Chain A
Amino acid sequence: AQKITQTQPGMFVQEKEAVTLDCTYDTSDQSYGLFWYKQPSSGEMIFLIYQGSYDEQNATEGRYSLNFQKARKSANLVISASQLGDSAMYFCAMRETDSWGKLQFGAGTQVVVTP
């Protein structure tokens, strides 16, 4: 069963606008971690932001913030003030407790930032 769901295959966003990328997850673990990675066309995976299941505050890292709604099992990524360099594939991932740290990835959302 799919544990990470990203329902937006692709999105266009105008430069300087904010964009929200959706991510919902499914787990019965009490302790887990949620991650967002960016993958440009060159292929490398760039870590953006992390949210632990017990963290009470939403994670923020510069222009990235994670809207964590535990009861809804959602962990949406918000990118503020989009830049052309933000054009990339974005993956949501989850690490469950007894998984040796392995990540399960969503299908990804392709973001294209337009001038």
Chain B
Amino acid sequence: GAVVSQHPSRVICKSGTSVKIECRSLDFQATTMFWYRQFPKQSLMLMATSNEGSKATYEQGVEKDKFLINHASLTLSTLTVTSAHPEDSSFYICSAKGQTQPQHFGDGTRLSIL
């Protein structure tokens, strides 16, 4: 069964709205969570690394004010795409890592901004 739950799986919303995506580790404590973005037929690009209780570390070129990440507990991280625009449409996928496990991925969120 799934060990990482990502919600919602699909979002369609109007330009200018903010969208929150949740990533939960279901049966382990995720000391670190990762957020990736994937364009069609391309690889996963790491956006940021999120450690519980501290600020996220963003990769070069990723706007931290645009993509807000909160890792409030050992089982939950959220990504908020603020004031989303059509160019933010993409597949967003999170992963979670405990002390020893390999990373487990959520099922991803398809975000479409109209």
A43 and B110 contact, Cβ closer than 8 Å, known pairs A50-B102, A101-B97, A103-B103? yes
B49 at the A interface (CB under 8 A): yes
B residues at A contact (CB < 8 Å) = 32, 34, 42-44, 46, 49, 51, 57, 91, 93, 95, 97, 102-108, 110
Asked if A35 lies at the interface with its beta carbon under 8 angstroms from chain B, I say: yes
A residues near B (Cβ < 8 Å) are 33, 35, 37, 42-47, 50, 91, 100-108
Please state if B95 and A45 are interface contacts (CB–CB under 8 Å). Answer: yes
Q: How far is the CA of A60 from the CA of B102 in the complex (A)?
A: 16
Q: Are B34 and A44 in contact (CB under 8 A)?
A: no
Closest Cβ of chain B: how far from A85's Cβ, in Å? 17
**Contact: B44 with A102, CB < 8 Å?**
no
| Cβ 8 A contact of A43, one of B42, B43, B91, B103 | B91
Cβ B93 vs Cβ A91 within 8 A: no
Question: Are B107 and A102 in contact, with the CB atoms below 8 A?
Answer: no
Assuming the contacts A102-B49, A103-B46, asked whether A45 and B32 have C-beta atoms less than 8 A apart, the reply is: no
Decide if A35 touches B93 in the complex (CB within 8 Å).
no
Give the chain A neighbours of B49 by CB distance below 8 A. 100, 102
Given A91-B44, A100-B49, verify A43-B97 contact (CB < 8 Å).
no
CA distance A50 to B102 in the complex (A): 8
